[in-house]
Amino acid sequence: MAFLFGRKRKRSHDQDQDHESDRGDPAMSTSSAILQNHSYGLKVLEEPQNAAGIVFDVVFVHGLRGSIETTWRHNRTGAYWPRDFLSKDLSNCRIFAFGYDADIVNFWNPASKNRIGNHAENLIGALAGEREITDTNSRKIIFIGHSLGGLVIQQALCHSKNSVEEHIQKIHECTAAIMFLGTPHFGADMAKWAAFGSHMSDSFKRTNSDIVNVLKLGSEMLANIQGNFHSILRTREKSDQRIQITCFYEELALSYVGEVVPMHSAILPSYPSYGIHANHMDMTKFPSCDDAGYGSIRRELLRWTKQLSTAGPTPLALNCT
């Protein structure tokens, strides 16, 4: 029980208010309400009218107990930053969000039994298919993943690399950058928290124990995901096409739970890492474009897009423009 009643860290008053207003927020826009009713699959959030000027596909993937709509929307202001802020700062990008059943515990219906690999296959199939039918499968890709979503992205790239289908292989070949937000690369206490809920004696409760087990510290499956992903990174390094990576970690604890993904698990050695002054749930929600957390993410994305737009073609990506 120590993981439920561990040492608390400083928490802002605004964050407490945000969680209290998480349900039934009157500030939620009509378009956000529509998103909430279409939570699964690949959704286009923003696509510039000038298709010839689009250089990148940006793909958001939410994490555990998240969704396309709730993960990226600020609870109090209703700001949905991938569409409301980022689309203005990155005018040369088509922006997607991918949704999947991330409820590992469900009180009324069976929780999804899909494993991380299943979610990864669905992501890669949807994205590759969309790019194929729109004749954009040579466009550079930037992934942004929160929590479990980062692991789904890693596994998706492994599926892409091993696929015999050319349009699916193009995903890993054209991936130029990945941003990880609170991703437990080496496991985290979030697994203990989830496992606690799954062991409660409730006849109505169903759990996805496969995902719970993957997230545990020392998980063999998690080690395999990391090993395969880092193999891709090394291959890209050798071909002089390094995948840009930046990791962000939470600076505040979650009430009654504590730190969900510790910094040492949320960062990858040799890659830039920065803190966001929020807890694990709120680190993906920004009230305005002036928020410091959004500013940090924006700077990295602008740095990437500027660098990647001016870089010449490399051996692996001669057909990725």
CB atoms within 10 A of CB 166: 11
Q: What is the pLDDT of residue 116?
A: 85
What phi and psi values does residue 71 have, to the nearest 5 degrees?
-65, -35
Burial per residue of 232-249, b for 16 or more beta-carbon CB atoms within 10 angstroms, e otherwise = bbeebeeeebebbbbbbb
pTM for this prediction: 0.82
The CA-atom distances, in angstroms, between 286 and each of 76, 150, 181, 299, 308 are 10, 19, 13, 15, 26
Give the mean pLDDT of 167-172.
96
First-to-last CA distance in the chain?
52
* Strand, helix or coil for residue 6: coil
Residue 256 has pLDDT above 90, yes or no: no
User: pLDDT tens for residues 100-133?
Assistant: 987 754 433 443 445 888 999 999 999 999 999 9
Domain boundaries, the chain: 13-21+53-309
Give the mean pLDDT of 250-272.
91
- Within 13 A of 28's CA, how many CA atoms are on the CB side? 18
Report for 153-167, 207-221, 255-269: range of highest mean pLDDT: 153-167
DSSP for residue 80: B
CATH, range 13-21+53-309: 3.40.50.1820
The CA-atom distances, in angstroms, between 285 and each of 22, 87, 292 are 12, 16, 11
Token look-up 């930053």 returns 81
Structure tokens at 66: 């998240």
